[in-house]
A and B are shown apart, each in its own frame.
Chain A
Amino acid sequence: MQGQSNTAMQTQQGQQAQPSQQHQVNTRQAPALLPPVDIFEDGSGITLVADLPGVSREDLSIGVDGRNLTIEAPLRLGEADSLVSVYAEVRANQFRRSFELSSDLDTARIDAGLRDGVLTLRIPKLEQAKPRRVEVRVE
Chain B
Amino acid sequence: MYSSLLRTPGDWFADFEQLQDRIDELLGGRAATSSIRAVGRAGAFPALNVGTWAEALEIYAFAPGIDPKSIDVSVEKGVLSIAGERPAMNNAGAANKSGSEERNVYAQERFTGRFRRVVALSEDADPSRVEATYRNGVLKIVVPKRESSKPRQIQVASGS
Which A residues lie at the B interface, using CB under 8 A?
A: 1, 4, 7-9, 11, 26, 28, 30-32, 36-44, 47, 49-56, 75-94, 115-118, 120, 122
Contacts and interface: CB of A to CB of B under 8 A. Distances in A.
Interface residues of B, number: 55
B132 interface: no
Interface string B46-65: 11111111100010101111
Interface string B11-44: 1001101100000000000000000000100101
Given A79-B2, A117-B137, A40 B106 contact: yes
Chain A residues touching B, majority SS: loop
A79 B78 CA distance: 23
Contact of B52 (A28, A84, A117): A84
A78 B4 CA distance: 11
B53 A1 contact: no
A42 B98 contact: yes
Closest 4 CB pairs of A and B: A117-B137, A117-B64, A30-B9, A36-B109
Interface of B: 1-7, 9-11, 14-15, 17-18, 39, 42, 44, 46-54, 58, 60, 62-66, 89-90, 93-95, 98, 101-111, 134, 136-138, 140
25 contacts: A1-B107, A1-B108, A36-B109, A37-B107, A37-B109, A38-B105, A38-B108, A38-B110, A39-B105, A40-B103, A42-B102, A43-B98, A43-B102, A47-B94, A53-B138, A54-B138, A77-B140, A84-B4, A84-B52, A88-B7, A89-B62, A90-B47, A117-B62, A117-B65, A122-B94
